[in-house]
Amino acid sequence: MSAHGISVRLRSMKTIFFLSVACLISYIPYAFASEPDWVAKSKKKISNVVDKSGIKKAHLAIYIGDGEQTPYVVYELNGAKKFIPASITKLVTAATTLVHFPPGTKFKTQLMSQQNQIKGEVLKGNLYLKGGGDPSFVSESMWFLVNAFVRTGIKTIEGDIVVDDSYFDKLRIDPSRENARVDRAYDAPISAMSFNWNSVNVFVRPADNGEDAHVFADPENEYIRLKSSVKTVGVGKGSTVIVDRDEDAKGNGDVLKVSGKIGVDSKEVVIYKNITQPDIWAGYNLKAFLKQRGIEIKGKVVSGLASGDILAESESKPIEQILADMNKFSNNYVAEMLAKNIAAKFSTPGNIPKAMDKMREYLASIGVKKEDYEIYNPSGLTRDNKFTAQSLWMVLHDMKDQFQYQPEFFTSLPIAGVDGTLKKRLKETRGERWVRAKTGLLTGVVSLAGYAGRRDGTVLPFVMMYNGSEGEAEVRTLFDKIALSLIE
């Protein structure tokens, strides 16, 4: 090696040495700093609250750390033990989504056709409805899309409505969910072309005493067949309305069987049910909306691949508003739609296993060890997901420190005493508006994870999980008391 080379190498080694010493010196005040008084008081207060709750400590996993640059652990109980997290899994889904779809991102839904098949006011061929994975595509979105189509001047469609949902795989219910299927809205199927959260609203109103009740499906279209046997009963006799959803025998829609009774003095009853074929469901709703604008469709609603040119397009809400839909109301459908979008960004069709790989990559990037978690489903509707409280705390801490994502991540969370799943919790207490957190609930599983703000400006990320057989109400009360102690 030349003398010049040796000199450069020596300078590099000296630089590394002095930088290392400088870093060590800068860290020493934090490493050996004594805990602030409020940290010590919080530890003692939380310990007392946990002890008095009567809940077995072995059933609890809690990790609360100072979210600033100091290394203080405010409280820890079984922080390194893996627990079933339930819906606070959505925190990982939200974080990974923001990494791959920055604030302002929108998804697109399109109407297409072959231009050479448009003859004046007549479309001689098919009208294609192409799904782009928009979880927020609802009635207002459909109206916007149809109104844009109306401006093409087409009055008659002689071909079919062909629904293209090839952006995602065809697994409507991913096997990563819990095995038991229900027809309630929280267990809705997934498709790249989805509409109104792939759920239908059933409204029941009383008629005169002894008469059949008034029953409505919203939205109304050819996909849904209503069969009602609900009777109106006398004053003070209450209401018991049951809706069962069955797939049509011909595989072309769903039958809603509405039964029971409704009191003549009762308020309107609403029940939410999922549908079974989201692509066909979206197509029939498009047909109904077009019909309301005076456009005739002579063909059928079928699945297929889109081709041709874009006639009309609808953009979704910005990604940050979609995340709020997911987190504030713990929407499993939105979580899986976002997960498949993450996967589809890299290769189509998007599916849950590929999305989970991307979530694991995100967790690795912030230093979460493989042995500290297991993740298979993005919504948490499974007992197979497992996380340590500390690993989930690292997600919260990372999002707090990422200026590009922090405001949107915080805004997506329920606000204590104000909205979402925390609307009725900590209301009219010192904790109202001072806690933003995601809830989680499965049988024998209760969780709460998010941020507690202090009036001195400190923001504390916290994770609390419970896996056991004690009463869920008692566990929620304990978690609320712990959150309050952090604020105080």
Residue 44's domain is classified under what CATH number? Answer: 3.40.710.10
Calpha distance 171→175 (Å, rounded): 8
What is the structure's pLDDT at 19? 37
What is the percentage of the chain residues whose pLDDT exceeds 70?
A: 92
Report pLDDT for 363.
98
**Within-domain flag for 161:** yes
d(CA 325, CA 433): 19
| 231-233 and 435-442 strand pairing | unpaired
Whose structure tokens read 């069709």?
A: 349
CB atoms within 10 A of CB 118: 18
Q: Is residue 47 part of a domain?
A: yes
Q: How far apart are CA 396 and CA 435, in angstroms?
A: 13
- Looking at the fold, whether 393 and 428 belong to one and the same domain comes out as yes
> Are 195 and 222 members of one domain?
yes
Reported as a single tens digit per residue, the pLDDT across 242-285 is 999 998 877 789 999 999 999 999 999 999 999 999 999 999 99
Residues 311 and 262 both lie in one domain: no
Mean residue pLDDT of the chain comes to 91
Q: What's the structural domain count of the chain?
A: 3
Range of the domain at 471: 37-104+320-487
- The model's pLDDT over 134-190, given as tens digits with 9 standing for 90+, comes to 999 999 999 999 999 999 999 999 999 999 999 999 999 999 998 888 999 989 999
Neighbours of 227 (CB within 10 A): 12
Whole-number Cα distances in Å, 175 to 134, 207, 353: 22, 43, 10
| Percent of the chain predicted with pLDDT > 90 | 84
403 and 421 within one domain: yes
Question: Which residue is listed with tokens 């009219």?
Answer: 428
Return d(Cα 163, Cα 199) in angstroms, integer. Answer: 18
Peptide bond into 349 cis (omega under 30): yes
CATH of the domain at 135: 3.50.80.20
Structural domain contains residue 445: yes
User: From residue 142, how far is each of 121, 208, 289 by CA, in Å?
Assistant: 21, 36, 8
Q: In this predicted structure, what is the pLDDT of residue 475?
A: 97
Supply the pLDDT for residue 69.
58
Q: Using the 3D structure, point to which of 246, 274, 302 is the last residue of a domain.
A: 274
Name the DSSP class of 58.
G
Q: How confident is the model at residue 36 (pLDDT cuts 50, 70, 90)?
A: confident
* Residue 1 within a domain: no
Tell whether 265 and 125 lie within a shared domain: no
What is the predicted pLDDT for the residue at 193? 98
Choose the final residue of a domain: 315, 341, 365: 315
Are 178 and 194 spatial neighbours (Cβ–Cβ below 8 Å)? no
448 and 332 co-located in one domain: yes
Among 450, 444, 440, 439, smallest CA distance to 472 is for: 444
Residue 131 shares a structural domain with residue 157? yes
Is 238 in contact with 173 (CB distance < 8 Å)?
no
For the ranges 59-73, 216-230, 255-269, 465-479, the lowest mean pLDDT is seen at 59-73
CB atoms under 10 Å from CB of 408, counted, come to 22
Is the separation of the CB atoms in 319 and 98 below 8 Å? yes
Residue 21, domain member (yes or no) = no
Q: 């697994």: which residue's tokens?
A: 171
Q: What is the mean pLDDT of residues 386-412?
A: 96
Looking at the fold, whether 205 and 326 belong to one and the same domain comes out as: no
Cα 145–chain centre separation: 24
Take residue 53 and report the two structure tokens written for it. Answer: 């709750």
Q: Mean pLDDT across the stretch 399-412?
A: 96
State whether 149 and 216 are in the same domain.
Answer: no
End position of a domain, from candidates 315, 343, 368: 315
Q: Does some domain include residue 207?
A: yes
Residue 70 has a pLDDT of 58
Q: How confident is the model at residue 236 (pLDDT cuts 50, 70, 90)?
A: confident
Please indicate, yes or no, whether residues 115 and 71 belong to a single structural domain of this protein.
Answer: no
Strands 386-388 vs 373-374: parallel, antiparallel or unpaired: antiparallel
**14 within some domain:** no
- Whole-model pTM: value is 0.90
Residues 221 and 305 occupy one common structural domain = no
Residue 217 belongs to a domain: yes
Q: Are residues 388 and 467 in the same domain?
A: yes
